[in-house]
Structure 1
Amino acid sequence: MNSPILALESYWLAQAMKYSTWLYPTVETVHIWGVGMLFGSVVLMDLRVLGLVKALDYSALSRLGIAVSLLGFSLAVLTGSMLFITHAGDLIASRLFILKMCLIFLLITNAVLLRMRVVINATTKAQAVISLVGWASVIGLGRWLAYV
């Protein structure tokens, strides 16, 4: 079927993730930290765009938020890749996983387009709402994947 994908499961790191008592839970914990950093900073920036956190300066919040979200995203991608290779065959066949990955791609595109905007208007606010709902959905899909 997907032999290159399935071959990932025999990679030494995937085997270590499967059989080590502490490695998988440690990687999963760091993954959750990364997702938390990403989602937390996105929530603050999107709420500011929506005018719900007016006390925070937009440009300062944006600079800090982008730095934190990039760090969180990097951690999530690195650790998510490690989690993926452990169950690559099952995940690549999962519609939930494919939906989650597509949604992440669309949300990253939305974030880039949103941060390029200079003026906050109805379109920008709609993008912020899409971002909030989308990232919450990604988190939900990630949790569901553990149980289906």
Structure 2
Amino acid sequence: MDLFSLFEACERTWVGDTIRQSIWLFPAIEAVHLLALGLLGGAVLMLDLRLLGVGLTSPTPSQLERQTRPWAVAAVVAMVFTGSVLFMSEALKLYASTPFRIKMATLLVVLIYTFAVRNPFARRATGVTALSRLVAGVSMLLWLVVAMAGRWIGFS
């Protein structure tokens, strides 16, 4: 099965059909998606700003990573679920969407970066250093690209 056929099959699911036929399902699911984005953004920004040395001076980056992790994971799970459902309602449109491809590629990169680099670094960080600023800056830039590409999807 090629990629187009996969996207076509996703759009033809009963989930995709139901959302497309409903006047309120897409906006309701989108609202949950955006609320989860806000939760994720808050969790990411709190830790990244702490690693940058902006704002909070306590708790330590390690403590803050531990405190924000459940919120960030819950938000990512909610966004993946709602995003997948929204995808099924307009998969063929998204197949040809450059912003969608940018968002998905960057999302994959930032999730790997977050769990393989940023979070392990934050768990060991004791204070603000040039390296902590770099780690936080890369994280913020990648999440910004994901958010901007996601917003761009709505205008394409």
TM-score by length of structure 2 reads 0.88
Match of 1:114 among 112, 118, 143: 118
Say yes or no: does 1:129 pair with 2:137: yes
Q: Verify the 8 A CA contact 1:38 1:72 in the aligned structure 2.
A: yes
Tell me how many residue pairs correspond in the alignment: 148
Say yes or no: does 1:91 pair with 2:99: no
TM-score by length of structure 1 reads 0.92
* Residue deviations 1:126-146 (CA, integer Å, cap 9, x gap): 121111122122111111111
Identity of aligned residues (%): 30
Q: Verify the 8 A CA contact 1:110 1:127 in the aligned structure 2.
A: no
Superposed displacement of residue 105, structure 1:
1.1
Pairwise CA RMSD: 1.5
Say yes or no: does 1:144 pair with 2:152: yes
* Residue deviations 1:78-100 (CA, integer Å, cap 9, x gap): 00001111111121221211111
* Structure 1 alignment gaps of length 5 or more: none
* Residue deviations 1:44-96 (CA, integer Å, cap 9, x gap): 00000111133330233212211111111111000000111111112122121
In the TM superposition, structure 1's runs of 4+ consecutive aligned residues that sit over 6 Å from their partners are none
Partner Cα separation in structure 1 for residue 68 and residue 55 of structure 2: 13
Q: Verify the 8 A CA contact 1:114 1:127 in the aligned structure 2.
A: yes
Partner Cα separation in structure 2 for residue 54 and residue 4 of structure 1: 46
> Tell me, what secondary structure is at the counterpart of 1:55?
coil
* Structure 2 alignment gaps of length 5 or more: none
Query: Which amino acid letter does the alignment assign opposite residue 98 of structure 1?
Result: R
